Amino acid sequence: MSHYPLPIHFRSSFQYRLFRVFTLLTSLIALIFLTVYITFEIRNQRAHISAQLHLQAQHLAETIRLPLYAENRPVLQQLAEGATHQIPELRGVVITASNGKVLTDVRLPRSENNAGVIEETVEVRSDTLASSPESAISGGTEPGPTLIGRVSLKRSTEDLLLMSYRLVAISCAMAVGFWLTVSLICYLVLRQVTKSFNVLIQGIHAMQSGDLSARINVVSDDEPGRAANAVNDLADALAARTVELENANRELEAFNYSVSHDLRKPLTVIYSYCQFIQEFCSHNLDAQCREYLQEISDGSQRMNQLIGTLLEFASLTRTELYRCHVDLSEIAHTTAKGLVVTEPSRKVTLRIAEGITVKGDRNLLQVVMDNLLSNAWKFTSKKEDALIEFGVLEDEGMPAYYVRDNGSGFNMTHADKLFIPFHRLPGTGVDGHGIGLATVERIIKRHGGRVWAEGEPEKGATFYFTL
């Protein structure tokens, strides 16, 4: 089995969660069965003791029938004390007449462990064949036995309490042993079952860290095996795409080099010759020729600027992001001051919110703010009371930053074309390459955000972006 970096921690693993569920479920089942078993045993033992005490009370009732009928208290006292000696658990014997008069009351001291008592009362009735001495002498019978008294026995539950303690201790020990055994079996089984998942996850982590040469060694015809094969195939495809991308980047760099050198060189020559002709030969040319010559010179400069813009736009996808805390308010102030310097005669109200900080690439976010504020500056050029505002608001629970102006605006039917490279909205009357907003969108997407715009003709526009 291959060893990969980023090992899976047990407490955060799928195996641990399954083990926790199984052990908790086992504990709950063991606790339920333990409670039911102990409750059933205690009730069963208590019922057995009550039945035994009832039989002992019946036996004593048969013994004391004649002394009770004669209300012979010494004999009843002797029989009651004898019963307490024969049955050590007895704590009291009470013999009462049929009218409720207490004839004998033997009470022994209670135990010191707060054990309770069980009490059983049995009625003592006369014999059905001779319910009175007179009927016995005469040989007659009465309709039925009559009540001549009651016998109450009180028994201590100390032995039941001790038995309950032993039962609970033994049951708990067995339950803990059962739980430990089942938990160990569950752990071993889950460890074996989840081994393939752990290898799969470790392989994915290795690929995620950039090691596309790592492969997952799960040889099985089940879900983990099929997932491992799919991930390995995906890694092969990604490795191939990475090679293609690297080749494409090298070709793009070669193309950029060609553009920056091979195309700019003839433009520089054209511009230089135009400057030479204007300086040394302009007196031999008429006004129309000098105008044509100036158009050639200006066109070469615009072409050179467009090439530079194209190179900057292409480099946005290759530059690496260096995220840090960026003060957008400070960048907005700096950009606004630069715009004011270029046209000091314009009257523009600038409202820039303070303390707006984000986390991102400072250089790229500088490009975003330059493009958005420059756009607002250009499209408010025909306004005498121009207003440009930078701020932040909340959109769907997250901050959305915006640049708002009261310039020429745009029709919302063209909103989806604003961020297309080299596309300029008709009727704006503003020069440009049509690459600024496309650059903004590409930078914002690289930061994981989105950009959109709202506007209305002659009422201004607002550009929003999130990070």
Q: Of the candidates 371, 356, 365, 353, which has an alpha carbon nearest to the alpha carbon of residue 323? A: 365
Q: In this structure, are residues 104 and 83 in contact, taking their beta carbons and an 8 Å threshold?
A: no
Q: What mean pLDDT, rounded, does the chain reach?
A: 82
| Same domain, residue pair 256 and 381 | no
Angstrom distance (rounded) from CA 127 to CA 62: 10
Angstrom distance (rounded) from CA 79 to CA 90: 13
Task: Name the CA dihedral angle for 418, 438, 345, 330, rounded to a multiple of 10 degrees.
Answer: 120
Q: In this structure, are residues 142 and 135 in contact, taking their beta carbons and an 8 Å threshold?
A: yes
Angstrom distance (rounded) from CA 369 to CA 336: 10
Backbone angles phi, psi at 9, to 5 degrees: -75, 140
Rg for the chain, CA atoms, rounded: 51
Q: For residue 406, name the pLDDT band (cuts at 50, 70, 90).
A: very high
| Same domain, residue pair 288 and 328 | no
**Longest CA pairwise span in the chain (Å):** 176
The residue among 266, 294, 315 that closes a domain is 315
Between 114-123, 388-397, 451-460, the lowest mean confidence (pLDDT) is in 114-123
Q: In this structure, are residues 2 and 214 in contact, taking their beta carbons and an 8 Å threshold?
A: yes
Task: Give 67's contacts (C-beta < 8 A, 6+ positions apart).
Answer: 75, 76, 79
Task: Name the CA dihedral angle for 302, 307, 310, 315, rounded to a multiple of 10 degrees.
Answer: -140
Q: In this structure, are residues 180 and 78 in contact, taking their beta carbons and an 8 Å threshold?
A: no
| Same domain, residue pair 332 and 269 | no
Percent of the chain with pLDDT over 90: 22
Domain assignment present for residue 236? The answer is yes
Q: For residue 264, name the pLDDT band (cuts at 50, 70, 90).
A: confident
The residue among 96, 131, 165 that closes a domain is 165
Angstrom distance (rounded) from CA 169 to CA 398: 59
pLDDT of residue 13: 63
Q: In this structure, are residues 307 and 263 in contact, taking their beta carbons and an 8 Å threshold?
A: yes
| Same domain, residue pair 454 and 332 | yes
| Same domain, residue pair 284 and 336 | no
| Same domain, residue pair 285 and 413 | no
Task: Give 14's contacts (C-beta < 8 A, 6+ positions apart).
Answer: 194, 197
Taking the model in full, what pTM does it have? 0.48
Domain assignment present for residue 192? The answer is no
Which residue segment(s) compose the domain that 277 sits in? 224-315
pLDDT > 50? residue 32: yes
The total domain count for the chain is 3
Backbone angles phi, psi at 275, to 5 degrees: -65, -40
Helix (H) or strand (E) holding 120: strand 117-125
pLDDT > 70? residue 316: no
Domain assignment present for residue 193? The answer is no
Give the C-alpha distances (Å, rounded to integers) separating 268 from 175, 265, 433. Answer: 91, 5, 20
Q: Following DSSP, what letter does each residue of 21-35 receive, concatenated?
A: HHHHHHHHHHHHHHH
Domain assignment present for residue 282? The answer is yes
Domain assignment present for residue 183? The answer is no
Angstrom distance (rounded) from CA 157 to CA 196: 58
| Same domain, residue pair 341 and 311 | no
Q: Specify the 3-state DSSP secondary structure of 3.
A: coil
Q: Both tokens of residue 68?
A: 């009770």
| Same domain, residue pair 367 and 235 | no
Domain assignment present for residue 440? The answer is yes
Give the C-alpha distances (Å, rounded to integers) separating 278 from 234, 268, 305. Answer: 63, 15, 22
Q: Both tokens of residue 267?
A: 């433009």
Query: What stretches of 316-414 show up as alpha helix (H) in DSSP?
Result: 328-342, 362-379
Angstrom distance (rounded) from CA 320 to CA 359: 15
Q: Of the candidates 335, 323, 306, 311, which has an alpha carbon nearest to the alpha carbon of residue 446? A: 323
Angstrom distance (rounded) from CA 24 to CA 386: 70
Q: Of the candidates 157, 161, 160, 156, which has an alpha carbon nearest to the alpha carbon of residue 90? A: 156
Domain assignment present for residue 218? The answer is no
Domain assignment present for residue 426? The answer is yes
| Same domain, residue pair 29 and 157 | yes
Between 146-160, 182-196, 392-406, the lowest mean confidence (pLDDT) is in 182-196
The residue among 123, 146, 165 that closes a domain is 165
Angstrom distance (rounded) from CA 5 to CA 440: 38
Angstrom distance (rounded) from CA 23 to CA 85: 52
Q: In this structure, are residues 168 and 27 in contact, taking their beta carbons and an 8 Å threshold?
A: no
- Output the CA torsion sign for 250, 256, 259, 265: negative
pLDDT > 60? residue 47: yes
pLDDT of residue 132: 52
| Same domain, residue pair 354 and 287 | no
pLDDT in tens, 152-189: 999 888 888 888 889 889 988 988 888 888 888 888 88
| Same domain, residue pair 252 and 344 | no
Q: For residue 137, name the pLDDT band (cuts at 50, 70, 90).
A: very low
Residue 337 CA neighbour count, 13 Å, CB half: 5
Q: In this structure, are residues 90 and 82 in contact, taking their beta carbons and an 8 Å threshold?
A: no
| Same domain, residue pair 311 and 328 | no
Angstrom distance (rounded) from CA 146 to CA 129: 11
